[in-house]
Amino acid sequence: MCTLVGKKAPAFKADAVVNGSEFVDDFSLTQFIGKKHVVFFFYPLDFTFVCPTEILAFQDKLDEFEKRNTAVVGCSIDSKFSHWAWLQTEKNKGGIKGVTFPLVADLAKTIAENYGVLAGDYDYDEEGEVEFIGAPVAYRGLFLIDKTGVVRHQLVNDLPLGRNVDEALRMVDALQFFEENGEVCPANWQKGKDGMKATSDGVADYLSKH
């Protein structure tokens, strides 16, 4: 597991499905540099249980992310064909039909590995053959990437633990508030609340009002 906060997000080019049905070759997050913030999240597998609840929750809030000029991109170790099939499956049959944000295919597991969220490692057994130790899927990693391509927030959940999409929105708001105002965001900060200046006087002034 690595910490990417403050570093450039690892670059990649991979197959993806966009707009719910369109195959794209060489999909890359670099297309958003200078244009949008990005919420890039990993999930373990298509056609599972917790994963569709998260993906559909992101879709339900997609307009809110778009209002904030923020792209949402999902990624798992499944193929583009698996993504496509899942995207064509009705919700009442365990599918995610209606999801429009991109889903990246990481069959080689290199993207998950580079982002430090692969739930295991390759190793050699006693016979010298390569084996995978652990679960050959991604943890529920989430990365908030700014317009310069730098990771500003990182969250990694174990496989059984679903994420809070409202918290992802809150972190986008916090980052954009800091970028626009130069003020930092205290504990439990919400959009519309006061920030505080990162000085002793600024902290004292904030605390005196709260």
Angle between helices 165-181 and 50-60 (to 10 degrees): 40
Contact 174, 183 (CB under 8 A): no
Backbone angles phi, psi at 204, to 5 degrees: -60, -40
Sign for the CA dihedral angle at 189, 192, 100, 90 comes to positive
Chain mean position to CA 66: 15
Number of neighbours of residue 148 by Cβ within 10 angstroms: 10
Residue from 2, 51, 75, 185 carrying the catalytic annotation:
51
Is 51 known to be catalytic?
A: yes
CA 180 – CA 20 distance, rounded (Å): 33
Looking at the DSSP bridge assignments, the partners of residue 205 are: none
Do the bridges between strand 70-76 and strand 103-105 make them parallel or antiparallel, or are there none, so unpaired? parallel
**Residues with active-site annotation:** 51
